[in-house]
Amino acid sequence: MADEIDLAQQHEELFRELALRVARRHSRSSSSEARRCLDCDEPIDAGRLALVPWATRCLDCQLEAEARKRRA
């Protein structure tokens, strides 16, 4: 019985460690890669974000939005 409890605890620790790793990887990738465009919900190009860190739209939608603004 004690062995089963030990085994169960080992499994629990292993599982927790794995879950932590997945969660860390997930939070890292979502903070670095996934800024999405307000309009089309596509990921904003990393090169564009490097040049324009405050960008909320992809280049296409930004141009479209500025064209709309100019027309208005």
The answer to whether 36 touches 43, Cβ cutoff 8 Å, is yes
Smaller CB distance to Zn ion: residue 39 or 49?
Answer: 39
Distance CA(38)–CA(43), nearest Å, equals: 10
Smaller CB distance to Zn ion: residue 5 or 53?
Answer: 53
Smaller CB distance to Zn ion: residue 18 or 67?
Answer: 67
Asked if 61 is part of the footprint of Zn ion (rule: CB under 5 A), the reply reads yes
Give the chain's count of helices (H) and strands (E).
3, 0
Residues that bind Zn ion (CB under 5 A): 37, 39-40, 58, 61
